[in-house]
Structure formats: structure tokens, C-alpha cells
Amino acid sequence: EGSNEQASSLLGFSAIPISTDDTVKIAAGYTAAVFAPWGTPLFADAPAWKTDGGGDAAAQARQVGDNHDGIHFFPIDGSSAEGLLVVNHEYTTVEGGNYIWLFGAKGGKPWTADKTAKAMNAHGVSVIHIARNSAGKWEIKPGSRYNRRITASTEMVLTGPAAGNDLLKTKADPGGTRVLGTLNNCGNGWTPWDTYLTCEENFNNYFGTTSGNDSRTAAQKRYGLAAKSSDYRWEEFVDRFDYAKEPNESNRYGWIVEIDPFDPSSTPKKRTALGRIKHENAACALSADKRVVIYMGDDQRDDYIYKFVSEGIYQEGGDNSALLDAGKLYVARFDDGRASDDFMGVGVWIPLDKTANATLAADARFASQAEILVNTRLAADAVGATKMDRPEWVSVHPASGEVYVTLTNNDKRAAPDAANPRAANIYGQIVRWREAGGDAAATSFEWDIFVLAGNPVKYTDRGDLKSGSANITAGNTFNSPDGLAFDKAGRLWIQTDGKYSNSGEYEGQGNNQMLCADPASKEIRRFFVGPRECEVTGITFTPDSKTMFINIQHPGEEGDSHWPDGGDSVPRSSTIVITKDDGGVIGS
Ligand code: FEO
Ligand code: CA
Ligand code: CA
Ligand code: CA
């Protein structure tokens, strides 16, 4: 009830309760429709979805991939009725070396070359030409020249300062510039020049060795490569995923990849100037002098928040194709500038630069700036950046330029600090900052905690930090904020990827969900709840803000969902199209 006590001019809908049902729930006056689930045919010659999940590798290459995540709508000629929907396919659900659902209920045993190829084709990105039909319903245009599947085998190039560096050379690519595929495409971004940025997150999970020997380097351990076999088991059939056979292949993932969705024959570009981390998303802003600024989180317990500031200036309508190839990379330090318990402070952006940073200039582990970019995490460790509670999505307020980041949780945090104020943080928080002078290229900022997620149902003493900050109530409690995006009007949409047991520490929180916040009043209301064992992730709007697209990822990741097809069907990740029944702006 508490979530509706304060009327917010920005939030025009009534909050909904939690749900533990195997279906989607949405605020009154809205409709949520399933769109382009995993396995949907994308081309005129694409095989139909096999309802038992038994399609082969060749079929998967012509169909929508698995585990939808970041998503962006590129309007065609500014239209809100036709455009290109670009969707990330982050991963396929595996546990203990077996696949859950990719091969239907049968799992991945016995493991074969065709199953490896199917898994590789389920990854990557889909470009989907969509339009509203005469009844106003969104549909795929299956024969469109724009439709495209990018997979873990699609040819791409490395560009920028690290391209061609020895650390990026392999037997198949002695020049160190040509890579096959993109992996673990998590969150996303888009540029003012209408390109898509797909972010490679947990690339480490795809590398292992069949040799039986743990021969990992310090850098490979810092990035989390498996000591022996990987859960995905690709190394058994594709040599480049065996780090003992091809030690540099894993260095060719963990990048932000720029894609031109309007040119289906274009080669995706891995932009090394933006650093190599477990990239969550890429939030773009322009500095006061029109340089491009990209904010980025590295999603790991105790990892960091980064920003890239381009050397060149954005030219509206001009050639911006090299802007992401030259610039400065920074990592954030959050300092406790004031009283220790006020959840506010100041911060600085530390340059990860072989020349400008004396610590890195003296560090023999990095022979050049290229090596800093390949082993960005090691450089950030060396300069004293602030270890955060798993940085996920970043979003920039459309009017003020204030920057918000979800810190999803960190159950292993030992020592609290100002911006990460709880040990064993199971609920997560959203931190925001204001760049000095309101300039995205500034090297210092002020920050505060927008919301400390918590559970006042379980922890009724509001002095206990586990109950959450004052804007958390029994009516809007959630855990593990992850997806995050502002709409044009400045509403902040918050998506969760957390525990859905609805018991114990998570009592009263239900399935994963999407909430909406007013940045000024800090009020938060629940708008949408997903089906069982899913996360809610990815968000984009048509230019008129009247259609919202989000994704349901990994429904039934532990086996308990048959969404969206029902019965005893194989659960499928899917996009959800949200419209307001009166045709109005979403959230208004
Ligand atoms: Fe792919 Fe950190 O979420
Ligand atoms: Ca995420
Ligand atoms: Ca997450
Ligand atoms: Ca995920």
C-alpha cells in the first residue's frame, strides 16, 4: 500500500502485487503480448519451431536465438510503426555440463558436434524487421532483407588500439584482427549515429581444456576461465575454445561490439578502446563539447564501473564510424566525502592510461596501452578503483545527465564501504552520480544511493539496512535490480534478476519483475511481473513511447515453467510487447 501513498506526477499507473504464477502480470490498462520467442523463423526458408525443442543447428541459425537480453528498436524513417528490433541472445541455460531446454526436455546428453553447433547458433544477436499491421498488432516481416542472425561463428573484426596486438593473435588469425563470433551478449547500447552496441559479458564460461591440466595464466584466472572442462563443453568439438590449444582465443571476447543494423552485410566491429571486461551494457552520452561518452559496468562481485570518452567529436549526419576507436578509458573510485552513514559522497575517474597514469606507466605487466585494454581488470586493480556490488546496467537521465547504475547484489562482500554499505549484500542497490559541471567528460562527480533494495516484510525494524531505504515498502519490495533504463519523460524502469523463492529472505518478493521509479520523489511502483524462474531484462521504446519492448529470459531455468506455450511445453525466452489499452504513453 505504501508505494501509492505519495502521488507522483510521473507514475500514472496503479502498482500491482507480487506473483508466483507461471504467467506475466501487468498494471491495469496495459497489455503484454509474447513476441519473437526463441526458435521463431526469421527468414522465408527458415524451418518452423519444433515444439519439442528438437530443432538442429542449421534450423537454429535461421531462427531467433535463445535467452533474449538487451534489446533496441531502431525506427525506420522515425516511424513508431515500423523499425528494426535488435535483440541479444545472451546464453543457453546449462548446469553441471548439461543443457536445460536447448535440446528440449532431453538435455545435452550424449554431447555431439551438432549440439555444439546448435548452442553456438543460439547465441549472438537477431536483427528483426517489424511493423504494425492494419489491426495495430506488431508482426515480423519474415522476408525482409534486414533480417539477420549474428552467432558465435559470424566473422567480425577487432578495431582500435589493441587490434593486431600479440595477445590477440591465434593460429587461425596470425594478424590478430579477425574473430569468429560474439559470446554472452548481455546488455546493450546504441549510438546517436544509429548503430547497436552488444556487450560481451561472461565469455570466460565458454573456454576450458580437454588436456586435464590447469595451465591458466594469472590473467585468465582473473577473468574466471574454468580450470578444466567448461560447462558449455564446446572445447570438445571446436579447438579454439580449448585454452591450452589456443591460449589467446579468450582475449578476443569480452569486448563491446558495434553493429550497423541497417546494413545486413556489414561486419561487426569489436571496439578495443572500450576495454575488455565482463561488459553488462553500454550507456551513451555526449560531453559538453560533443565527445562520445560510454558508461559501462563489469558484472562480477567486487568489480568496477568504467567510462570511455572519445577523442573525436560527434558530427550529426557525418561520419562517426571511427569515434569508438580512439579515446580515454577511466575507472571509478567512489569516496565517502561526508558523514559515513549518509549514503552520499564524491568520486573520481581514474585514467587507465599507460602514459597519463604513473602507476600503470611503471607497471611492467603492461608493455603498452593495448595490453591495458586487453587486461583491463588487472589495470583497474592496480590503480585503486572501488570494488562494487556487481555493476549491471547503467542509464543516463535524458534531461539532467545524471547517471544511474544497478549494483545487483554481492553476497560475498566482506567489508562494507560508502557506496556498497552492506556486508553479504543479497538485495542490491541503485547508485547515481552527477558529473562535475554537468559534463559527461568530467573527471570527478558527486554520488548518492537512490535506493537500497531490501525486505521490510522479513526485516520489520526499519533501522536494519536489510529492510531497505525509505522508498522500499512491503508493497514494492524486490531484490537484485539489473536491467535499468530511462524513458524520454524521465521515468526510471527497474528490472530484476534475483531470487524468486518468495520465502525466507525473499518472502513477499515473488517472481522477477519490472518496477518504475520517479527520480525526483524516489517513489517506486511495481508495473510488471514475469513467469516462473525467469529474469526480466532489456528495454526499448518506439519514438512515440507508446510501445515498450522488454524480454523474459530463461523462464524455467530450474525446470519449473512452461511459459509461454503452456501445457507441458518447453519454456522459451521471449520478447514482450507492452501497449497501453487507450493508446497512450507507457507509464503515463
Ligand atoms: Fe548478463 Fe550481468 O547480466
Ligand atoms: Ca543483467
Ligand atoms: Ca543479473
Ligand atoms: Ca541473464
The closest ligand to the CA of 278 turns out to be: 1
pLDDT value at residue 3:
44
Q: Can you spell out the DSSP letters for 174-234? A: TTS-EEE----EEEEEE-TTS-EEEEE--GGGG-B-SSS-----HHHHHTT--SS--SS-G
Nearest ligand 1 atom to the CA of 90 is: 1
CB atoms within 10 A of CB 555: 27
> Distance between CA 405 and CA 175 in Å, rounded?
37
- Residue 409 CA, ligand 1 centroid: distance in Å: 12
> Distance between CA 226 and CA 228 in Å, rounded?
6
- Output the residue whose Cα is nearest ligand 1's atom 1: 186
- Residue 496 CA, ligand 3 centroid: distance in Å: 7
Longest dimension (CA), the chain: 65
Q: What percent of the chain has pLDDT over 70?
A: 98
**Look-up of cell digits 578502446:** 273
pLDDT tens sequence across 128-150: 999 999 999 999 998 899 999 99
pLDDT tens sequence across 503-542: 999 999 999 999 999 999 999 999 999 999 999 999 999 9
Q: pLDDT at residue 2 above 50?
A: no
Q: Which among 51, 67, 57 is positioned nearest to 121, based on CA atoms?
A: 57
- Percentages helix, strand, coil for the chain (3-state, rounded to 5) are 10, 35, 55
The closest ligand to the CA of 535 turns out to be: 4
Q: pLDDT at residue 435 above 90?
A: yes
Please give the DSSP secondary-structure letter assigned to residue 150. E
Torsion sign over Cα 381, 407, 485, 531: positive
pLDDT tens sequence across 234-293: 999 999 999 999 999 999 999 999 999 999 999 999 999 999 999 999 999 999 999 999
Nearest ligand 1 atom to the CA of 202 is: 1
Nearest ligand 1 atom to the CA of 187 is: 1
- Residue 427 CA, ligand 2 centroid: distance in Å: 15
- Residue 461 CA, ligand 1 centroid: distance in Å: 32
> Distance between CA 350 and CA 445 in Å, rounded?
12
Nearest ligand 1 atom to the CA of 299 is: 2
pLDDT tens sequence across 345-377: 999 999 999 999 999 999 999 999 999 999 999
- Residue 161 CA, ligand 3 centroid: distance in Å: 30
Q: Which among 255, 317, 308 is positioned nearest to 283, based on CA atoms?
A: 308
Ligand 1 pocket, Cβ-based, cut-off 6 angstroms: 90, 186, 201, 280, 299, 392
Nearest ligand 1 atom to the CA of 280 is: 2
- Residue 280 CA, ligand 1 centroid: distance in Å: 6
More confident residue, 159 or 8: 159
pLDDT tens sequence across 220-238: 999 999 999 999 999 999 9
Three cell numbers written together for 140: 515480423
The closest ligand to the CA of 408 turns out to be: 3
pLDDT value at residue 492:
98
Nearest ligand 1 atom to the CA of 184 is: 1
> Distance between CA 543 and CA 539 in Å, rounded?
13
Nearest ligand 1 atom to the CA of 278 is: 2
Over range 120-132, report the average pLDDT.
98
Three cell numbers written together for 88: 541479444
Which residues line ion ligand 2, judged by CB < 5 Å? 392, 482
pLDDT tens sequence across 301-319: 999 999 999 999 999 999 9
pLDDT tens sequence across 63-108: 999 999 999 999 999 999 999 999 999 999 998 888 999 999 878 8
Q: pLDDT at residue 1 above 50?
A: no
The backbone torsions φ and ψ at residue 238, rounded to the nearest 5 degrees and listed phi first, read: -130, 110
Contact partners, residue 385, CB within 8 Å, separation at least 6: 304, 331, 332, 333, 350
- Residue 540 CA, ligand 3 centroid: distance in Å: 18
- Residue 393 CA, ligand 2 centroid: distance in Å: 7
pLDDT value at residue 432:
98
- Residue 480 CA, ligand 3 centroid: distance in Å: 7
The closest ligand to the CA of 554 turns out to be: 4
> Distance between CA 351 and CA 32 in Å, rounded?
44
Confidence of residue 338 (pLDDT cuts 50, 70, 90): low
* Integer angstrom CA distances of residue 524 from 324, 333, 584: 35, 28, 21
What was the ipTM of the complex prediction? 0.94
Q: What percent of the chain has pLDDT over 90?
A: 96
Q: pLDDT at residue 339 above 70?
A: no
The closest ligand to the CA of 484 turns out to be: 2
Over range 195-203, report the average pLDDT.
99
The closest ligand to the CA of 93 turns out to be: 4
The rounded mean pLDDT for the chain is 96
- Residue 184 CA, ligand 1 centroid: distance in Å: 9
Nearest ligand 1 atom to the CA of 497 is: 3
